[in-house]
Amino acid sequence: MNSEIIVSENDRPIWQMPIAALFFSAATLIILLALYKLEFTEKGLIIFLHRLEPSIALASIGVGFTLTKSIHIDIKSSKFKPTLAVGPLKFGTWKTIKNYEYVSVFHQPLKDGSYIFEVNLWYDNNKHFNLYEKDNYKDAFLIGYDLSEELNIDLLDATVPNDFKWIDKEEWKTKINEVSTK
């Protein structure tokens, strides 16, 4: 058993990095121009703040092109940390989990009629934490399965409304081994 598990979104596509760089560069240029033309009067400061508005908007779009989410689970100390990363900058705090109960995989309908599959870690008497979202059932199920194996807890398949099923992981392991040996 690993002492730390990391559940992470896939890295951003490579084409998004240059787009984000353009937005960040434009935001930086606007800030530099605003600082260059800064006048230390009340009116000058108001003009400076108005010049920062497009910079903030551009930087926000750049963040949208680079933001990734991950969850770090430290099994030994029974903690988890949701993390948001923008490039090398990572933000998140550790939270304590008292009892891991089970992992569930279910689908969540979206406004456009499609579905997204979510993996939740249930802990501390009916509390849960959303670990992973994906539009692909197989990917979500494999994340849920691997996590339940690492934590040695049950796995619930709740992808069919009102027909939840506890997964027999031993049977599932046998099927995986049969497919991998063919």
Report the chain (182 residues): mean pLDDT per 10 consecutive residues.
67 86 95 88 88 93 89 82 85 86 86 85 84 82 85 87 84 69 56
Report yes or no on 84 lying in a domain.
Answer: no
Which pLDDT belongs to residue 60?
94
Which pLDDT belongs to residue 177?
67
Say if pTM beats, i.e. exceeds, 0.85: no
Can you state the percent helix, strand and coil of the chain, rounding each to 5?
40, 35, 25
Report yes or no on 79 lying in a domain.
Answer: no
Range of the structural domain that residue 123 is part of: 97-181
pLDDT tens digits, one per residue of 107-142: 888 888 788 888 888 888 788 888 888 788 888 888
Report yes or no on 127 lying in a domain.
Answer: yes
Report yes or no on 120 lying in a domain.
Answer: yes
Report yes or no on 107 lying in a domain.
Answer: yes
Which pLDDT belongs to residue 173?
75
What residues contact 101, with CB distance under 8 A and at least 6 apart? Answer: 122, 123, 124, 125, 153, 154
Which pLDDT belongs to residue 19?
93
Both 173 and 104 in a single domain? yes
Total domains in the fold of the chain? 2
Query: Which residue is associated with the tokens 């939270």?
Result: 95
Which pLDDT belongs to residue 51?
87
Both 61 and 119 in a single domain? no
Both 132 and 174 in a single domain? yes
Return the ∠ at Cα 160 (arms to 155 and 162), rounded to 5°: 95
Both 110 and 52 in a single domain? no
